[in-house]
Amino acid sequence: MSRSPNTPGVEGDGIRDVDRVVRVATETLTAAVALVPVLLVGFFGSFAVGLGTGEDWHVVETFRSASGLNRAYVVYRSWGGAVGGIDSQVYVLPAATEWNERDRGLLLWSGDHIDSVRVVWDSDRALRVQARAQEGISLAEYSQGWSRSGFNVRTEPLP
């Protein structure tokens, strides 16, 4: 005679129910114990990969305007450690002021997946950012410029 699992049966069936409970509990405990080392390795692995996840800034090149009043700084910003990335950015400051992380100046252009950047000044208030995107990447899609505070900026492919 068959019965559904949650209905009481004859006394002999109780032994099978206890065996099943013990088996399920043992399997669950074994799976939990086996999962702990995997979680620990994943936690410590992500911690090790994420070391140095802060931002790191490097001035790559500077370009002085024709009159010498302003200077454009091409800066690479790396972030996120091993799983992060690198942004290329262009800041403008008065020529007498040196760029630093705390006083970066006016951000006029930023790009991702960029191989090289050059700045060409058309006047003291207008500049062109010439950039070369990595192979298979659209410069228009992965870069942007902001004309502001009296500065005019354009993006064009690096010749």
Domain range annotation of the chain: 1-49, 56-157
- Tell me the whole-structure pTM to 2 decimals: 0.66
pLDDT, tens digit (0-9, with 9 covering 90-100), for 21-66: 888 888 888 888 888 787 777 766 665 555 555 678 999 999 999 9
pLDDT, tens digit (0-9, with 9 covering 90-100), for 80-135: 766 677 899 999 999 999 999 999 999 999 999 999 999 999 999 999 999 999 99
The pLDDT of 11-26, averaged and rounded, is 76
Q: For the chain, give the secondary structure using H, E and C.
A: CCCCCCCCCCCCHHHHHHHHHHHHHHHHHHHHHHHHHHHHHHHHHHHHHCCCCCCEEEEEEEEECCCCCEEEEEEEEEECHHHCEEEEEEEEEECCCCCCCCCCCEEEEEEECEEEEEEEEEECCEEEEEEEECCCCCHHHHEEECCECCEEEEEEECC
